[in-house]
């Protein structure tokens, strides 16, 4: 297949590009490098351009007949989205609409969308399945939910089939050591902890140790990046077979507490580092875990790197290989 990966120079997109290319697909990445890296695109052609730029899209779609588009490009910082919502609505919603309209114009029928647990807002129950109420509590989550709604309407009106994959926490790195996480600023727990382990960061902060969880720290669901990418390939195959749109929550199903992630990181890295306990942050639920039964049943998705140690080992290998030079 010929697949366009939008945002393929970013963390998740770059792993997806690799997985698709190694499964004999022709992959083209479109990325404006606003948050991604040229050297993260190890396979296929990289077109540097903005997904909201009609000229770029016309050129791409005139030149190639894509079987599907996978869309990873977005701004992803929840805090920034509160301070500067315009930036988020513009890129995550308006630019996505430009892409969808171009797909309709060029009759490309299959779309995979990177959605998020943030569309659900404060958990009403846990683990969170697809039936959970959708009440995002920040602009980032709202931008993603808006696109999900847009996709329902584009299916009804134009027959554009989509699968929305709601990731909980993507984590880990390419087991070959070729790719990894490089957000700037970094806000994800695993790389922040490993930066403390490698000495790139003075300490790691735990925001609240008085949650109603086993050790008092927040519990989150970490899913390995390769398992996440695998779910995209399975979702695309399923969508092409059934001709139906779908939505799936993607997580490990096992929650790990912040303290457990820290303890495991110390064990895997063999390094001790400073841990600072501070107050809770507003808007952090105690437990955020996915119920991925639907994805497991309908896609036959079965995460292979589901042990916390394995997730951290691959991320640590990346931290050592890439940053310790």
The site for ligand NAD (CB under 6 A) is made up of 7, 9-13, 30-36, 50-52, 72-74, 76, 91, 95, 114, 116, 167, 169-170, 183, 188
Closer to ligand NAD at the Cβ: 10 or 255?
10
CA distance 56 to 58: 6
**Catalytic-role residue among 43, 88, 140, 222:** 140
Closer to ligand NAD at the Cβ: 35 or 219?
35
Closer to ligand NAD at the Cβ: 116 or 269?
116
We find the least distance from the C-beta atom of residue 171 to ligand NAD, in angstroms, to be: 7
We find the least distance from the C-beta atom of residue 270 to ligand NAD, in angstroms, to be: 26
Q: Check whether the bond before 139 is cis (ω within 30° of 0).
A: no
We find the least distance from the C-beta atom of residue 53 to ligand NAD, in angstroms, to be: 8
Assess whether 158 carries a catalytic annotation.
Answer: no
Q: Where are the alpha helices (DSSP H) in the chain?
A: 11-22, 54-63, 78-83, 85-88, 95-105, 139-158, 189-198, 225-242, 258-269, 293-299, 308-318
Closer to ligand NAD at the Cβ: 76 or 204?
76
- Joined together, the tokens standing for residue 139 give 């602009």
Among the listed residues 4, 163, 10, the one whose alpha carbon sits nearest the alpha carbon of residue 69 = 4
Contact 244, 162 (CB under 8 A): no
Which residues lie closer than 8 Å to 229 by C-beta, 6 or more apart?
A: 12, 15, 16, 19
CA distance 201 to 69: 37
Closer to ligand NAD at the Cβ: 8 or 259?
8
CA distance 212 to 219: 10
> What burial letters (b/e) apply to 56-91, b meaning 16+ CB within 10 Å?
bbeebbeebebbbbbbbbbbbbbebbeeeeeebbeb
We find the least distance from the C-beta atom of residue 4 to ligand NAD, in angstroms, to be: 11
Closer to ligand NAD at the Cβ: 36 or 121?
36
We find the least distance from the C-beta atom of residue 170 to ligand NAD, in angstroms, to be: 4
- Joined together, the tokens standing for residue 156 give 């009804």
We find the least distance from the C-beta atom of residue 117 to ligand NAD, in angstroms, to be: 7
Q: Check whether the bond before 127 is cis (ω within 30° of 0).
A: yes
Contact 117, 167 (CB under 8 A): yes
Active site residues: 140
């Amino acid at each position: 297949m010929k697949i366009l990966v939008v945002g393929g120079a970013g963390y998740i997109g770059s792993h997806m590009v690799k997985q698709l290319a190694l499964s004999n697909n022709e992959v083209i990445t479109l990325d404006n490098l606003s948050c991604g890296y040229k050297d993260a695109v190890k396979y296929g052609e990289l077109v540097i351009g903005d997904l909201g730029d009609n000229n770029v899209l016309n050129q791409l779609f005139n030149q190639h007949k894509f079987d599907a588009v996978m869309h990873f490009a977005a701004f992803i910082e929840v805090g920034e989205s509160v301070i500067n919502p315009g930036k988020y609505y513009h890129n995550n919603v308006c630019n996505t609409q430009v892409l969808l309209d171009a797909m309709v114009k060029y009759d490309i029928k299959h779309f995979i969308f990177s959605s998020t647990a943030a569309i659900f807002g404060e958990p009403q129950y846990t683990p969170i399945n697809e039936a959970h109420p959708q009440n995002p509590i920040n602009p980032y989550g709202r931008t993603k939910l808006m696109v999900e709604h847009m996709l329902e309407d584009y299916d009804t009106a134009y027959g554009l089939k989509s699968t929305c994959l709601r990731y909980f926490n993507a984590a880990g790195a390419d087991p070959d050591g070729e790719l990894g996480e490089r957000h700037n600023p970094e806000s994800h727990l695993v790389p922040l902890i490993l930066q403390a382990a490698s000495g790139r960061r003075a300490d790691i902060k735990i925001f609240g140790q008085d949650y109603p969880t086993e050790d008092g720290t927040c519990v989150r669901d970490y899913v390995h990046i390769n398992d996440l990418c695998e779910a995209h390939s399975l979702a695309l195959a399923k969508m092409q077979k059934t001709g139906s749109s779908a939505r799936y929550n993607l997580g490990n199903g096992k929650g790990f507490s912040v303290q457990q992630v820290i303890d495991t990181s110390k064990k895997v890295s063999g390094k001790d580092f400073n841990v600072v306990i501070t107050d809770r942050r507003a808007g952090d639920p105690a437990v955020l875990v996915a119920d991925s039964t639907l994805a497991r049943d309908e896609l036959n998705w079965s995460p292979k790197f589901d042990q916390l140690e394995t997730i951290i080992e691959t991320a640590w290998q990346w931290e050592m290989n890439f940053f310790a030079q």
